C-alpha cells in the first residue's frame, strides 16, 4: 500500500510539473507572438544593418517604453519561406519585410492599410496596392553601370557621353587599350556566376531591359513579361548585344565563377573601371573593403546608364523592399514605430550609420556614401526609372535566367542561342 | 466489499470522463483559435485525468491491456503528432493549390500528373537515380578499400582512421562551401592555366555532377569505412591463420575469406549509402544549388542540371512558391524511399535466416 501511495505521489508531482511547463509555454507563446501591449517584433531583410536597427530599437524603447525586437534575416535565407513557417506556427512578427508584388500577393488580406499615416504624404516610394498603402519604404537603392570616376578621367572618357551603345563600346575600347597604364585587370567587373550571384544578372541586369530609359510609371515591358512571358525582340536583341560586350571585356578568370566579395573588392581596389552592381556596394567599399578602397585613393564613383539603346540616359532607382504591418499583430504600436522612424533622430541613424538613402522628402541628411551624390544628381534631374523586376514571377532569376547568363558568359552558347534560350526559359517560368 | 468496488468504479469513470471532456475542450479551444493561454495545461491535465481514471477501473480481465496502453501512449502520441498527422496533412495539401499560407480550392490529382509532365522534375529524378547508383558503388568500394588499409599493419593506423572519418563530422553545408571555394578558385586556376578554360567545374552540369559525387564520396566513405572496419575485425583470426598456413595469398584471403564473412556488413552499408544518397540535399544545395544547364532534354533547355530530388522539392515549394506541388513531389519521394526501406528489411532478414 505504501508503495502505491509513493507511486501516486510521484505521478502527481510529474503531473504538476507538466502543468507548470504547460502554463509557462502558454505565457511565453503569447509573448512571442508580440500581441502583448508593449512589445513589437520586426523581421528585417537586410542583415547588414542589423546593429543599426537594434540601436534604433533601443532609442525607441528609451523614448516610449515600447520594446522592439529586431530579427534580421539574410545571406541566402528565403525570407518569405521563413515567414510562412512563422505563419504556420502562429508566430507572426508585427512588421516584416516584403520585396515586391509576388511577396505582397502572398499576404493579401493579412496586411494593414496604412493610408491614414502621416508619413504617407512625405514619400513617393510607398507600396500601394488595391488594398491601400501596405508597404513602408525605408531606403532607396540605385542600379546603374557603376564606374570609377578617376580611371575614366585618366583614360579620357567622359561618363556623361555614355548614352548610346556606340559610346559605351568606344569607352570600353579606349579603356581596354590603356589597361596596363591604368593598372586594370579588366574593363568591367561583370560576374555571371549562377549559384550565388544569379540575382545580379537575373534581377538587376535583366531589370535594365525592363526599365532603362523609361518613365517611372511606364510598365510596357513588365506587362509583356507578365502576360505569359513575352519579350520584345528588338529591345532584347540590343540588350543581348550589351551583355555580349560585357562578356568580352570582363575579368575572364572570375566571369563565370567569381563571388560578390571578389567583385566588390576588385572594384574597390581600382582593378575594374566599371562594375555591374548597384549603390549598395558603397557601404561595402567603405566598411569591409575600406583598406583596399583607401589604398586605391578613395576614388570618386558614379553611375552611367546601361545604354544598350540610343538615348538611354536614366538609372534605375527604387525602394528595394518594404516593411509591412501584420493585421492581426500589434498594429497600433507597429504603426507608431514606423511613424517614429521617419522623424529626424531615427533618420539620422538610418542615413548616417546604416547608409540608407532616405525616401522621405523631409529628411535633410545625406549619407557619406560614394554613390550618394550621383543618385541625388539623377533624381534631381528627373532621370530615374523604376524597378519593375520586383514584379517578375517567383524564382525566375534563381531557377531560370541566372543559368542562361552564365552559359552565355562561359561561351557555351552564342548570342543567337542566348536569345532563343532566354525566350524559352521565360515561357517555362511563366507556364508554372 | 462490493459497494467499495462499485464506488471505485463510479469514481474512476467520473475521473475518466472529466479527463476526456477537458481534453476535448482544450482541443476545441485550440482549433477555434481562441486566445486562451490555459488550453495547453488543460490538455495535459485532461489526458492525465483520463489515464488515472482508466488505471483505477477495477477490472481483472482488462487490467493488463490498460497498462499496455498507458505505457504505449507517450510514444504513440509523439509519433502521431510528429509523423502521422503531418503526413496526413501533407497528403491532403498535395491535392490542393496551397501556397504555404492559404488554399483556395482542390485540384484533385493534377499536381501529380503535372509533375510527370515537367521535364525538369523528370531530369531530377533521373540524375538522382544515377547519383545513387554511382555513389552506392563508389562509396562502398572506396570505404572498403580504406577499411582494408586501416586494418593492415601500416604505421599510424589510428591517424588515418581519424583523418578519413573527420570529413563526415563536418556539416554538409560547410563542406559544400569549402569545396565550392576549391573548385571555383584552385581548380579553376589550373584549368585556366592549362587549357585557357574560363569556367569552373561547377558551371557545367556534367562536371558539376562529378564534383558533387567527389565531395559526397569524400564525406561519406570515411563513415562507411568505420563500419567495414568493425566488420573486418570480427572475422575470426583462426580462420585467417588457417588460410595462411594453407598458403593463401593476401588477395585470396581477402576475396575468399574476409569478403564472404562480412557479407551482412556489406548489405548494411549498401542500404545506408543508398538511402542517404537518395536524400542528398545539403552538399547539393551549398555546392551548386542545382545549377548547371542542360541544352536539350525532351526538347527543352533546363537550368537545373544538378538539382537532385530533395532539392527539387525544396525549390518547388520555397523559391517557386508552389507548396502544394512540392508536397505532391514529397509524397512521391516518400513512396520511393519506403520501397527502398522495405526491400532493405526483406533482404537483411532473409540473409540473417540463411546465416
Distance separating alpha carbons of residues B97 and B106, to the nearest angstrom: 6
Residues of A in contact with B291 (CB under 8 A): 194-195, 198, 402-403, 406
Q: Find the CB nearest A257 among B203, B317, B319.
A: B203
The distance of B292 to chain A (nearest Cα, Å) reads 7
Residues of B in contact with A198 (CB under 8 A): 291
State chain A's mean pLDDT as an integer: 86
Q: Find the CB nearest B40 among A26, A102, A258.
A: A26
The distance of A424 to chain B (nearest Cα, Å) reads 7
- The set of cell numbers assigned to A358 is 532616405
Distance separating alpha carbons of residues A426 and A229, to the nearest angstrom: 5
Q: Does A407 touch chain B if contact means CB atoms closer than 8 Å?
A: yes
Q: Find the CB nearest A399 among B185, B317, B320.
A: B320
Over the stretch B292-346, which tens digit does the pLDDT of each residue have? 888 888 888 888 889 999 999 998 888 888 899 999 999 999 999 899 888 888 8
Residue A22 near residue A317, CB atoms below 8 Å: no
In the sheet with A315-318, reading across from the earlier edge strand, the strands are A141-143, A315-318, A384-385
- The set of cell numbers assigned to A306 is 546601361
- What is the rounded end-to-end Cα distance, in angstroms, of chain B? 59
Average pLDDT over residues A143-159: 92
Distance separating alpha carbons of residues A197 and A191, to the nearest angstrom: 8
Q: Helices B63-79 & B39-55, crossing angle to 10 degrees?
A: 160
A256-285 residues labelled b (16+ CB within 10 A) or e (exposed): bbbbbebbbbbbbbbbbbbbbbbbbbbbbb
> Where on the phi/psi map is residue A355: left (φ > 0), alpha (ψ -120 to 50), or beta?
left
Q: Does A414 touch chain B if contact means CB atoms closer than 8 Å?
A: no
Question: Most A CBs within 10 Å: which of B208, B291, B314, as the mutation test of the A interface?
Answer: B291
Over the stretch A175-211, which tens digit does the pLDDT of each residue have? 999 999 999 999 999 999 888 889 999 999 999 999 9
Q: What is the pLDDT of residue B281?
A: 92
Q: What is the pLDDT of residue A21?
A: 44
The residues, ordered by sequence, that sit 6+ positions from B63 with a Cβ below 8 Å of its Cβ are none
| Contact check, Cβ <8 Å, A407/B315 | no
Over the stretch A122-133, which tens digit does the pLDDT of each residue have? 888 889 888 889
| Contact check, Cβ <8 Å, A257/B35 | no
In the sheet with A301-304, reading across from the earlier edge strand, the strands are A186-189, A272-275, A145-148, A301-304
Q: Does A343 touch chain B if contact means CB atoms closer than 8 Å?
A: no
Residues of A in contact with B41 (CB under 8 A): 19, 22-23, 26
Distance separating alpha carbons of residues B267 and B351, to the nearest angstrom: 9
The band of B124, judged by pLDDT with boundaries at 50, 70 and 90, is very high
- Please report the residues numbered 350 through 369 in chain A whose beta carbons come closer than 8 angstroms to any beta carbon of chain B: none
Q: What is the pLDDT of residue A10?
A: 57
Decide if pLDDT at A35 tops 60.
no
Distance separating alpha carbons of residues B202 and B185, to the nearest angstrom: 11
Distance separating alpha carbons of residues B345 and B47, to the nearest angstrom: 36
The distance of A248 to chain B (nearest Cα, Å) reads 12
Residue A39 near residue A69, CB atoms below 8 Å: yes
Decide if pLDDT at A254 tops 50.
yes
Residue A94 near residue A34, CB atoms below 8 Å: yes
- Please report the residues numbered 30 through 69 in chain A whose beta carbons come closer than 8 angstroms to any beta carbon of chain B: 30, 35
| Contact check, Cβ <8 Å, A399/B303 | yes
Phi and psi of A322, rounded to 5°?
-130, 160
Residues of A in contact with B305 (CB under 8 A): 403
**Domain A142-318+376-431: CATH class, spelled out:** alpha beta
Task: Give, as one character, the DSSP assignment of residue A256.
Answer: T
| Contact check, Cβ <8 Å, A23/B41 | yes
Phi and psi of A133, rounded to 5°?
-85, 105
State chain B's mean pLDDT as an integer: 87
| Contact check, Cβ <8 Å, B200/A256 | yes
Please state whether beta strands A67-72 and A39-44 pair in parallel, antiparallel, or not at all (unpaired).
parallel
Single pTM value for the model = 0.80
- The set of cell numbers assigned to A130 is 488595391
Q: Find the CB nearest A26 among B41, B185, B289.
A: B41
Residues of A in contact with B202 (CB under 8 A): 195, 257
- The set of cell numbers assigned to A311 is 538615348
Task: Give, as one character, the DSSP assignment of residue A201.
Answer: I
What number of C-beta contacts closer than 8 Å exist between A and B?
133
Tell me which range, A287-296, B187-196, B209-218, is most confidently predicted by mean pLDDT: B209-218
- The set of cell numbers assigned to B206 is 556534367
The distance of B323 to chain A (nearest Cα, Å) reads 10
| Contact check, Cβ <8 Å, B184/A257 | yes
Question: Most B CBs within 10 Å: which of A34, A86, A257, A425, as the mutation test of the B interface?
Answer: A257
Q: Does A412 touch chain B if contact means CB atoms closer than 8 Å?
A: yes
* ipTM > 0.85 (yes/no): no
**Domain A32-140+320-361 falls in which CATH fold?**
D-Maltodextrin-Binding Protein; domain 2 (3.40.190)
Q: Does A19 touch chain B if contact means CB atoms closer than 8 Å?
A: yes
Decide if pLDDT at A12 tops 70.
no
Q: Does A398 touch chain B if contact means CB atoms closer than 8 Å?
A: yes
User: A325 - beta bridge partners?
Assistant: A95
- What is the rounded end-to-end Cα distance, in angstroms, of chain A? 70
Q: How many Cα atoms are found within 13 Å in the side-chain-facing hemisphere of B104? A: 3
Q: Does A410 touch chain B if contact means CB atoms closer than 8 Å?
A: yes
Question: Most A CBs within 10 Å: which of B184, B196, B212, B284, as the mutation test of the A interface?
Answer: B184
Task: Give, as one character, the DSSP assignment of residue A370.
Answer: T
Tell me the residue length of chain A: 432
| Contact check, Cβ <8 Å, A195/B322 | no
Tell me whether the CATH fold assigned to A32-140+320-361 matches the one assigned to A142-318+376-431: yes
Decide if pLDDT at A3 tops 70.
no
The residues, ordered by sequence, that sit 6+ positions from A347 with a Cβ below 8 Å of its Cβ are A341, A358, A360, A363, A365
Residues of B in contact with A425 (CB under 8 A): 301, 303
For A259, B83, B276, B328, the CA distances from B341, given in Å and listed in that order, are 41, 17, 12, 20
The band of A28, judged by pLDDT with boundaries at 50, 70 and 90, is very low
| Contact check, Cβ <8 Å, A30/B37 | yes
Distance separating alpha carbons of residues B173 and B200, to the nearest angstrom: 19
CA-nearest residue to B35 within chain A is A30
Q: How many Cα atoms are found within 13 Å in the side-chain-facing hemisphere of A77? A: 17
Residue A180 near residue A156, CB atoms below 8 Å: no
- The set of cell numbers assigned to A156 is 579620357
| Contact check, Cβ <8 Å, B320/A26 | no
Q: What is the pLDDT of residue A33?
A: 41
Q: Does A80 touch chain B if contact means CB atoms closer than 8 Å?
A: yes
3-state SS, residue A133: strand
Farthest CA pair distance, chain A: 102
CA-nearest residue to A250 within chain B is B198
Over the stretch B22-77, which tens digit does the pLDDT of each residue have? 888 888 887 777 766 777 888 888 888 888 888 888 777 788 888 888 899 889 98
> Where on the phi/psi map is residue B77: left (φ > 0), alpha (ψ -120 to 50), or beta?
alpha
Distance separating alpha carbons of residues B11 and B53, to the nearest angstrom: 8
Q: Find the CB nearest B320 among A87, A411, A432.
A: A432
Residues of B in contact with A11 (CB under 8 A): 52
Closest by CA position to B304, among listed B218, B205, B165: B205
CA-nearest residue to B114 within chain A is A432
| Contact check, Cβ <8 Å, A26/B38 | yes
Distance separating alpha carbons of residues B114 and B117, to the nearest angstrom: 5
Residues of B in contact with A19 (CB under 8 A): 41, 44-45
| Contact check, Cβ <8 Å, B198/A87 | no
For chain B, the domains span: 2-109, 113-354
For chain A, the domains span: 32-140+320-361, 142-318+376-431
Distance separating alpha carbons of residues B182 and B188, to the nearest angstrom: 8
Decide if pLDDT at B223 tops 90.
yes
From the centroid of its chain, how far is CA A55?
A: 22
Closest by CA position to B33, among listed A33, A104, A24: A33
3-state SS, residue A132: strand
- CATH number for the B113-354 domain, one of 3.20.20.70, 3.30.750.24, 1.10.3720.10, 2.60.34.30? 1.10.3720.10
- Please report the residues numbered 253 through 292 in chain A whose beta carbons come closer than 8 angstroms to any beta carbon of chain B: 253, 255-259
Question: Most B CBs within 10 Å: which of A5, A9, A22, A424, as the mutation test of the B interface?
Answer: A22
Report CA torsion sign: A114, A120, A123, A129. positive
Q: Does A183 touch chain B if contact means CB atoms closer than 8 Å?
A: no
Cell 503528432 sits on residue: B81
Q: What is the pLDDT of residue A30?
A: 37
Report CA torsion sign: A346, A351, A354, A360. positive
Over the stretch A264-312, which tens digit does the pLDDT of each residue have? 999 999 999 999 999 888 888 888 888 999 998 889 999 999 999 998 9
Amino acid at each position: 500500500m505504501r508503495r502505491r501511495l509513493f507511486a501516486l505521489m510521484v505521478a502527481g508531482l510529474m503531473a504538476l510539473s507538466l502543468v507548470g511547463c504547460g502554463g509557462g509555454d502558454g505565457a511565453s507563446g503569447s509573448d512571442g507572438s508580440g500581441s502583448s501591449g508593449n512589445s513589437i517584433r520586426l523581421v528585417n531583410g537586410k542583415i547588414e544593418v542589423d546593429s543599426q536597427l537594434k540601436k534604433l530599437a533601443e532609442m525607441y524603447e528609451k523614448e516610449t517604453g515600447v520594446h522592439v525586437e529586431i530579427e534580421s534575416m539574410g545571406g541566402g535565407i528565403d525570407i518569405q519561406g521563413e515567414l510562412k513557417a512563422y505563419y504556420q506556427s502562429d508566430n507572426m512578427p508585427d512588421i516584416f519585410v516584403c520585396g515586391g508584388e509576388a511577396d505582397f500577393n502572398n499576404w493579401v488580406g493579412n496586411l494593414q492599410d496604412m493610408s491614414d499615416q502621416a508619413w504617407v504624404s512625405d514619400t513617393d516610394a510607398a507600396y500601394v496596392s488595391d488594398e491601400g498603402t501596405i508597404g513602408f519604404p525605408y531606403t532607396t537603392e540605385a542600379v546603374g553601370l557603376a564606374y570609377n570616376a578617376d580611371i575614366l578621367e585618366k583614360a579620357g572618357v567622359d561618363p556623361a557621353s555614355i548614352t548610346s551603345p556606340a559610346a559605351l563600346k568606344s569607352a570600353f575600347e579606349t579603356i581596354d587599350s590603356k589597361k596596363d597604364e591604368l593598372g586594370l585587370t579588366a574593363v568591367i567587373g561583370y560576374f555571371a556566376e549562377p549559384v550565388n550571384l544569379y540575382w545580379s544578372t537575373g534581377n538587376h541586369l535583366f531589370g535594365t531591359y525592363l526599365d532603362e530609359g523609361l518613365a517611372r510609371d511606364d510598365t510596357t515591358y513588365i506587362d509583356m513579361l507578365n502576360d505569359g512571358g513575352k519579350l520584345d525582340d528588338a529591345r532584347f536583341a540590343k540588350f543581348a548585344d550589351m551583355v555580349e560586350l560585357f562578356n568580352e571585356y570582363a575579368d575572364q578568370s572570375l566571369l563565370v565563377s567569381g563571388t560578390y566579395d571578389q567583385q566588390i573588392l576588385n572594384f574597390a581596389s581600382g582593378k575594374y573601371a566599371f562594375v555591374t552592381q548597384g549603390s549598395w556596394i558603397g557601404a561595402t567599399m567603405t566598411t569591409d573593403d575600406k583598406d583596399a578602397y583607401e589604398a586605391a585613393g578613395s576614388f570618386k564613383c558614379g553611375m552611367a546608364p546601361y545604354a544598350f539603346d540610343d538615348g538611354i540616359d536614366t538609372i534605375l532607382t527604387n525602394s528595394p523592399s518594404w516593411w509591412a504591418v501584420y493585421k492581426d499583430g500589434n498594429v497600433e504600436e507597429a504603426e507608431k514605430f514606423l511613424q517614429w522612424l521617419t522623424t529626424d533622430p531615427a533618420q539620422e541613424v538610418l542615413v548616417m550609420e546604416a547608409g540608407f538613402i532616405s525616401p522621405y522628402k523631409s529628411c535633410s541628411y545625406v549619407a557619406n556614401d560614394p554613390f550618394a551624390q550621383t543618385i541625388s544628381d539623377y533624381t534631381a534631374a528627373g532621370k530615374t526609372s523604376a524597378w519593375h523586376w520586383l514584379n517578375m514571377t517567383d524564382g525566375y532569376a534563381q531557377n531560370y535566367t541566372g543559368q542562361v547568363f552564365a552559359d552565355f558568359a562561359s561561351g557555351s552558347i552564342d548570342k543567337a542561342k542566348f536569345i532563343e534560350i532566354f525566350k524559352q526559359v521565360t515561357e517555362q517560368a511563366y507556364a508554372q | 466489499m462490493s459497494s467499495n468496488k462499485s464506488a471505485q468504479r463510479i469514481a474512476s469513470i467520473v475521473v475518466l470522463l472529466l479527463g476526456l471532456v477537458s481534453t476535448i475542450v482544450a482541443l476545441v479551444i485550440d482549433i477555434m483559435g481562441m486566445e486562451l493561454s490555459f488550453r495547453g495545461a488543460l490538455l495535459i491535465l485532461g489526458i492525465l485525468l483520463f489515464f488515472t481514471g482508466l488505471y483505477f477501473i477495477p477490472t481483472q480481465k482488462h487490467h493488463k491491456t490498460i497498462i499496455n496502453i498507458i505505457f504505449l501512449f507517450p510514444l504513440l502520441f509523439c509519433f502521431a503528432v510528429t509523423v502521422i498527422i503531418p503526413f496526413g496533412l501533407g497528403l491532403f495539401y498535395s491535392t490542393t493549390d496551397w501556397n504555404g499560407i492559404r488554399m483556395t480550392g482542390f485540384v484533385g490529382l493534377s499536381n501529380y500528373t503535372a509533375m510527370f509532365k515537367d521535364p525538369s522534375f523528370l531530369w531530377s529524378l533521373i540524375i538522382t537515380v544515377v547519383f545513387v547508383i554511382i555513389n552506392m558503388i563508389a562509396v562502398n568500394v572506396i570505404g572498403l578499400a580504406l577499411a582494408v588499409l586501416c586494418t593492415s599493419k601500416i604505421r599510424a593506423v589510428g591517424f588515418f582512421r581519424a583523418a578519413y572519418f573527420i570529413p563526415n563530422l563536418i556539416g554538409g553545408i560547410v563542406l559544400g562551401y569549402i569545396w565550392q571555394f576549391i573548385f571555383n578558385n584552385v581548380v579553376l586556376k589550373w584549368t585556366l592555366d592549362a587549357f585557357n578554360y574560363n569556367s569552373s567545374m561547377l558551371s557545367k552540369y556534367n562536371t558539376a555532377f562529378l564534383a558533387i559525387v567527389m565531395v559526397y564520396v569524400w564525406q561519406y566513405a570515411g563513415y562507411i569505412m568505420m563500419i567495414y572496419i568493425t566488420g573486418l575485425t570480427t572475422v575470426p583470426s583462426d580462420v585467417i591463420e588457417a588460410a595462411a598456413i594453407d598458403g593463401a595469398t593476401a588477395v585470396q584471403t581477402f576475396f575468399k575469406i574476409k569478403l564472404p564473412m562480412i557479407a551482412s556488413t556489406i548489405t548494411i552499408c549498401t542500404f545506408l549509402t543508398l538511402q542517404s544518397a537518395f536524400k542528398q540535399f545539403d552538399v547539393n544545395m551549398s555546392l551548386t544549388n542545382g545549377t548547371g544547364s542542360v541544352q536539350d532534354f525532351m526538347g527543352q533547355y533546363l537550368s537545373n542540371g544538378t538539382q537532385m530530388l530533395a532539392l527539387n522539392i525544396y525549390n518547388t515549394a520555397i523559391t517557386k512558391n508552389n507548396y502544394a506541388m512540392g508536397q505532391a513531389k514529397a509524397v512521391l519521394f516518400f513512396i520511393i524511399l519506403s520501397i527502398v526501406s522495405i526491400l532493405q528489411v526483406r533482404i537483411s532478414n532473409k540473409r540473417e535466416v540463411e546465416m
